[in-house]
A and B are shown apart, each in its own frame.
Chain A
Amino acid sequence: DMKVTQMPRYLIKRMGENVLLECGQDMSHETMYWYRQDPGLGLQLIYISYDVDSNSEGDIPKGYRVSRKKREHFSLILDSAKTNQTSVYFCASSLSAETLYFGSGTRLTVL
């Protein structure tokens, strides 16, 4: 069963705190993505990872960093979270970019 799992589903943090969003996939896909979704803005690419320790900035990487130490696991880190990072974050994986498999998202609120 092809699955992308995101944890946690909901997260509330205070401004300045560190945030760790985790994503796992069971399809052995090499490529993984982090997007954020905001009302009226669609899906914006934060980072893309081509494999373990092979990461590339997307369109809005500022304020974020990522870690991929195992092929099946991709983390998004917010060092000192800001209120404008309140959003829904989606992780996805793909074999060829022709089909992205998305997780159910993490709704992050930064107070």
Chain B
Amino acid sequence: QQQVRQSPQSLTVWEGETAILNCSYENSAFDYFPWYQQFPGEGPALLIAIRSVSDKKEDGRFTIFFNKREKKLSLHITDSQPGDSATYFCAAYTNAYKVIFGKGTHLHVLP
């Protein structure tokens, strides 16, 4: 049972373009959605997060858009840089401190 789904599996954009990574979830009880960034050979690291009471969260070039009614959210990376090339995981926080991760989107930013 996949509770958090991500698309696309892989995404390639040119430097300077906006990358859009999508995420959807099934459980209406989820109320906190972090995005983690992972570079090869490293563990994931928290990038940005949003609570379900908000519909948008910005942090520099990274913005989360959240649609509670449709149970969807997306991560927008504006002015993409080659250094943004990484795997991005959408996650959802459940009760009992369980954090459920999607399968990830591999982002490639071409110079």
Contact = CB atoms under 8 A, between A and B. Distances in A.
Interface of A: 4, 31, 33, 35, 40-45, 48, 50, 56, 58-59, 90, 92, 94, 96-100, 102-105
Contact of A104 (B6, B43, B89, B96): B43
Given A98-B32, A98-B49, 12 more contacts: A4-B43, A35-B101, A40-B103, A44-B101, A48-B96, A48-B98, A97-B97, A97-B99, A98-B93, A103-B43, A104-B42, A105-B41
B98 A100 contact: no
A42 B103 CA distance: 4
Looking at B6, B34, B93, B101, the one whose CB has the most chain A CB atoms below 10 A away is B101
Nearest to B6: A42
Contact of B100 (A41, A45, A99): A45
Interface residues of B, number: 23
Contacts of B6: 42
A31 to B, nearest CB: 5
- B9, B42, B97, B100: most-surrounded residue (chain A CB, <10 A): B97
Nearest to B41: A104
Which of A90, A98, A100, A103 has the largest number of chain B CB atoms within 10 A? A100
11 contacts: A43-B89, A43-B101, A58-B98, A59-B100, A97-B99, A98-B32, A98-B34, A98-B93, A100-B46, A100-B99, A102-B45
A50 B44 CA distance: 21
Contacts of A43: 44, 89, 101
B101 A31 contact: no
A51 to B, nearest CB: 11
Contact of A42 (B42, B46, B102): B102
B67 to A, nearest CB: 21
B99 A45 contact: yes
A81 B71 CA distance: 39
Contacts of B46: 99-100
Contacts of B89: 42-43
B43 A105 contact: yes
A4 B102 CA distance: 22
